[in-house]
């Protein structure tokens, strides 16, 4: 461990508090820089007023499991879409469906910003689909690939129903279950392909879009992180923090400094009235 020069053996701990503002945060986790949770929407079928899609969440992180009560996925519809029905997950609120004119057919959710949660393992069979109903848990892919993904099916109405007219949802959010993740915008990608079990036939879905969510400690913690550095008793400089001990907020940072040299917070600790 790096300890500042100085003759005295008494070692003081100088804790430089970092006051981070989450407003301009890069979602970046220094311990798993490439980790992400990918949310894939596969449109399986166009319907008279929308589409049926299978949504799959995959936890491509090194070590961060998501445990019950688990993930909560939210988004904003771009038009007047409704969710007719869902299998393998559910919207936590139905919202106001009084504008719906489809007679006795009441949508599962009419929220503009629906929030969806996983079903429990014991959910009724007719509400389950393959790979669903894990109470919101998602293991890290590198540790338990079999349990690192979860799927649900969603039937969307009052929506475009072709690849030219559909409007992909936006403003995705992922709570797992607390804050920490930021999600990209939905990106239309090559339609997913699936191989038949015997591997002799490949099928592909009608349209696919992806959302990539990444984790940042700076979003997860409201309380500022603490950066600890060591200094000897008679040395009036603190030693630089070890690289990324605070979780580096800027991927491009090569210096690994936790705070800028002249940051007022640090100056007040070094030169302030309470100086040791």
Ligand X SMILES: *[C@@H]1O[C@H](CO)[C@@H](O)[C@H](O)[C@H]1NC(C)=O
Residue with tokens 């409704």: 82
User: For residues 161-200, which are near ligand X according to CB under 6 A?
Assistant: 163-164, 171, 173
Q: For residues 121-160, which are near ligand X according to CB under 6 A?
A: none
- Residue 271 lies near ligand X (rule: CB under 6 A): no
Is 100 near ligand X (CB under 6 A)?
no
With binding defined as CB under 6 A, does residue 74 bind ligand X?
A: yes
Q: How far is the CB of 2 from ligand X (least distance, A)?
A: 32
Sign of the four-CA dihedral 174, 179, 181, 184: positive
Q: How far lies 165's CA from each of 68, 82, 158, 160, 162, in Å?
A: 37, 16, 11, 5, 5
For the bound state, the minimum distance from the C-beta of residue 171 to ligand X, rounded and expressed in Å, comes to 4
Choice between 174 and 246, CB closer to ligand X: 174
Residues 26-45 that bind ligand X (CB under 6 A): 34, 36, 38
Q: Which of 68, 80, 96, 113 binds ligand X (CB under 6 A)?
A: 113
CB of 256 to ligand X, least distance (A): 21
- Sequence-ordered alpha helix ranges (H) in the chain: 217-220, 264-271
Give the distance from CA 105 to its chain's centroid.
34
Q: DSSP string covering 168-180, please?
A: --EEEEEESSSS-
Compute the least distance from the CB of residue 148 to ligand X, in Å: 10
76 or 225, CB closer to ligand X? 76
Count CB atoms within 10 A of the CB of residue 242.
Answer: 14
Residue 228 backbone dihedrals phi, psi, to 5 degrees: -110, 130
Considering the complex, what minimum distance in angstroms separates the CB of residue 161 from ligand X?
A: 12
Q: How far is the CB of 141 from ligand X (least distance, A)?
A: 7
Q: Which two tokens stand for residue 130?
A: 């393959």
Q: Is residue 217 close enough to count as binding ligand X by CB under 6 A?
A: no
In terms of CB distance, is 100 or 173 closer to ligand X?
173
203 versus 267: smaller Cβ distance to ligand X? 203
Residues in Cβ contact with 10 at an 8 Å cutoff, skipping those fewer than 6 apart: 232, 233
Question: What three-state secondary structure class fits 10?
Answer: coil
Q: Which is nearer to ligand X, 43 or 132 (CB)?
A: 43
Measured distance CA(212)–CA(155) in Å, rounded: 22
User: Which residues contact ligand X (rule: CB under 6 A)?
Assistant: 34, 36, 38, 60, 74, 76, 113, 163-164, 171, 173, 212
């Amino acid at each position: 461990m790096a300890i500042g020069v100085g003759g005295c053996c008494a070692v003081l701990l100088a804790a430089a508090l970092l006051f981070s503002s989450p407003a301009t945060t890069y979602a970046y986790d220094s311990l798993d820089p490439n980790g992400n949770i990918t949310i894939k929407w596969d449109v399986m079928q166009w319907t008279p007023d929308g589409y049926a899609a299978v949504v799959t969440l995959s936890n491509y992180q090194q070590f961060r499991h998501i445990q019950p009560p688990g993930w909560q996925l939210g988004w904003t519809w771009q038009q007047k879409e409704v969710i007719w029905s869902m299998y393998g997950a559910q919207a936590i609120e139905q919202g106001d469906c009084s504008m719906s004119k489809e007679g006795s057919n009441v949508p599962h959710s009419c929220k503009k910003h629906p929030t969806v949660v996983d079903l429990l393992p014991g959910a009724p069979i007719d509400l389950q689909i393959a790979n669903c109903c894990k109470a919101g848990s998602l293991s890290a892919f590198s540790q338990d690939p079999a349990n690192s993904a979860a799927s649900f099916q969603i039937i969307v109405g009052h929506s475009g129903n072709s690849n030219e007219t559909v409007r992909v949802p936006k403003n995705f959010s992922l709570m797992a279950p607390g804050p920490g993740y930021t999600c990209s915008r939905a990106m239309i990608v090559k339609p997913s392909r699936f191989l038949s079990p015997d591997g002799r036939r490949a099928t592909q879905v009608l349209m696919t879009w992806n959302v990539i969510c990444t984790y940042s400690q700076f979003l997860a913690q409201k309380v500022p992180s603490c950066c600890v550095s060591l200094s000897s008793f008679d040395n009036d400089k603190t030693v630089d923090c070890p690289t990324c001990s605070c979780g580096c907020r800027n991927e491009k940072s090569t210096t690994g400094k936790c705070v800028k040299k002249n940051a007022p917070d640090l100056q007040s600790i070094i030169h302030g009235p309470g100086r040791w």
